[in-house]
């Protein structure tokens, strides 16, 4: 079973933080790679990075959002 949770989303920047266990990362990436905007045919999600802790993720990838 894959469990995924949204921890935060910055509307202005279009950035969010999703939480999942390390075993599900590849499966979730595959799902997001296949989500498309029907009107434009483009991917609406992009993984910026993966981190072992939320604190490190905010520091590395989100800057002041964290």
Provide CB contacts within 8 A for 6, sequence distance 6+: 16, 17, 18, 19
**Domain locations in the chain?**
5-65
Q: How much is the mean pLDDT over the chain?
A: 81
Reduced DSSP (H G I as helix, E B as strand, rest coil) percent helix, strand, coil of the chain, to 5: 35, 20, 45
Phi and psi angles of residue 32, each rounded to the nearest 5 degrees, phi first: -65, -35
The per-residue pLDDT for range 7-56, each reduced to its tens digit, is: 888 888 888 888 899 899 999 888 887 777 777 766 677 788 888 888 88
How much is the pLDDT for 43?
65
């Amino acid at each position: 079973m894959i469990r995924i949770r949204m921890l935060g989303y910055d509307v202005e920047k279009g950035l969010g933080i999703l939480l999942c266990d390390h075993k599900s990362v590849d499966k979730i990436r595959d799902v997001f790679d296949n989500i498309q905007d029907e009107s434009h045919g483009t991917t609406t999600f992009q993984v910026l990075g993966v981190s072992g802790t939320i604190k490190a993720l905010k520091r590395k990838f989100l800057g002041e959002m964290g």
